[in-house]
């Protein structure tokens, strides 16, 4: 599962559980973003990953611990339509949510980001884990075409069907 797939699954989950807000991915150009929705917005972004040590010697298999931030940008702070209420709503909507191929999500941090002209911004960070496995590549191997086994009693030759050698 890609970062973009997981981000979209989080957005979709929030849209089903919380109505009446703009819910989208974090803007490509944050400095140019303007909150136009009358109540506020939930903006989802990938914050980064950490990886475990490989768990296998034959292939790289790791646990990838991924973090996603949900920025809560609201026009009010304490009302039923304020930042505090929506921080709680996001926490409830995402805690324990499982995206296919990943562990259940859980919150790890909430924090105040800023206030500008009555727009309050907080962030809530969620973690989930997903496997990180090296891609398989077709290995170049020699095809076994003939086996000759000799013991004290006899010689046995086994040939691959269609092989004349």
Nearest to 40 by CA among 72, 15, 70, 12: 72
Q: pTM for the full model?
A: 0.79
Cα 68 from Cα 109, distance rounded (Å): 11
| Per-position pLDDT tens, the chain of length 165 | 899 999 999 999 999 999 999 999 999 888 888 888 989 999 999 999 999 998 877 888 899 999 999 999 999 999 888 999 999 999 999 999 999 999 999 999 999 999 999 999 999 999 999 988 888 776 655 666 666 666 666 665 556 666 566
Domains plus CATH for the chain?
3-138 (3.30.2000.10)
């Amino acid at each position: 599962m890609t970062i973009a797939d997981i981000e979209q699954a989080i957005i979709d989950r929030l849209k089903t559980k919380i109505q009446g807000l703009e819910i989208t991915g974090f803007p490509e150009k944050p400095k140019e973003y303007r909150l136009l929705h009358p109540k506020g917005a939930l903006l989802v972004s990938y914050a980064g990953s950490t990886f475990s040590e490989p768990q296998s010697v034959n292939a790289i298999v790791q646990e990838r611990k991924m973090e996603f931030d949900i920025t809560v940008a609201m026009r009010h702070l304490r009302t039923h339509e304020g930042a505090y209420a929506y921080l709680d709503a996001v926490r409830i909507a995402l805690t324990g949510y499982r995206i296919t191929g990943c562990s259940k999500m859980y919150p790890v941090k909430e924090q105040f980001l800023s206030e500008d002209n009555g727009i309050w911004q907080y962030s809530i960070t969620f973690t989930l884990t997903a496997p990180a496995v090296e891609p398989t590549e077709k290995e170049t191997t020699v095809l076994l075409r003939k086996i000759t086994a000799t013991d004290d009693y006899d010689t046995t030759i086994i040939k691959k069907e269609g092989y004349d050698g």
